[in-house]
Structure 1
Amino acid sequence: MTSTPAKSVSTPNISCGAALELIAAARAAAKRLGVDMAVAVTDTGGHLRAFERADHAPFLVAEVAINKAWTAASFGRPTHVWNEIVQSPEVSPLNHHPRMTALGGGYPVVENGQVIGGLGLSGGSSAQDQQAAEEALREMGFEVK
């Protein structure tokens, strides 16, 4: 008897509740740093799951945070590593993708070794965005790549 290959796969995704908790953890980390930020959480497909922009954060940071989360979820890597990666001729065309964001502050949300979403923070320096994202992920018990 031959087995029929599966026609679909089950993909784990961050729950709405966990996405909202991650937003709250990131908000608290940004507050500790004294920075008004936008925070975005996506599912594994890069679709927005939860979002918040601080009252005094510039409106541009909203789109940047969402695109950082999208980039991190898409490739399962933090966004700050992409400046080095896109120097390679094989992947340099990704520089021209309108959503690709190679600024620090985007991280895959990883649970038990699997990417279940993306987190993007924007509003501070790249170092501040990264720090707040890492603090939030660790507080929630997610792996930090």
Structure 2
Amino acid sequence: MTLEQANQIIGAAILKGGELGLRPLSVAVLDAGGHLLAFQRQDGASTLRPQLAIGKASGALGLGISSRGIAEMAAERPGFVGSLGAIAPHGMVPAAGGLIIVDGEQRPIGAVGVTGDSSDNDEACAAAAISAVGLMAQRA
């Protein structure tokens, strides 16, 4: 995952949010090691959005499933998921909007976290952005 790709993903996610008429988005892109590559917060986005976007992406990478999958896991095993926040270096947000980006062999090369609107809309923007730049999101 390059900085150029990360910035393209952010631009595509924000563009999709505009097309859908969503509230101001914040988008974080992490590399495969969980390090922040790029982040942008649209004008008017609330102050916790950077941490939320990073937490969605970081949690997905940390557990190897989308942040939607983490939310589903939290419903089944709330104690387990609740305990992860303390050990996850960038937090963990169990809500849709965080997707793992993979290469042709389904190996993680990074993750994107989007926040600002409903979780479903956040995830739709993340998925559209990954696709728009010619990359792939991890299959369920």
Q: TM (normalized to structure 2)?
A: 0.85
Kindly provide the amino acid, as one letter, of the partner of residue 60 in structure 2: A
How many residue pairs match? The answer is 131
Q: Which residue is 1:69 aligned to?
A: 57
Q: What value does the CA root-mean-square deviation take over the aligned residues? A: 1.6
Superposed CA offset, 1:59-96 (max 9, x none):
1122100111111222232101112223555x842322
From 89, 98, 112, the counterpart of 1:106: 98
From 123, 128, 133, the counterpart of 1:135: 128
Structure with max Cα Rg:
1
Alpha-carbon separation, structure 2, partners of 1:59 and 1:87: 27
Alpha-carbon separation, structure 2, partners of 1:129 and 1:120: 8
Q: TM (normalized to structure 1)?
A: 0.83
Superposed CA offset, 1:94-116 (max 9, x none):
32232121101000011211100
Structure 2 stretches lacking a partner, 5+ long: 86-90
> Contact conserved, 1:73 with 1:109, CA < 8 A, in 2?
no
Higher helix share goes to which structure? 2
Alpha-carbon separation, structure 1, partners of 2:135 and 2:66: 14
Alpha-carbon separation, structure 2, partners of 1:22 and 1:76: 20
Q: What secondary structure is seen at the aligned counterpart in 2 of 1:116?
A: strand
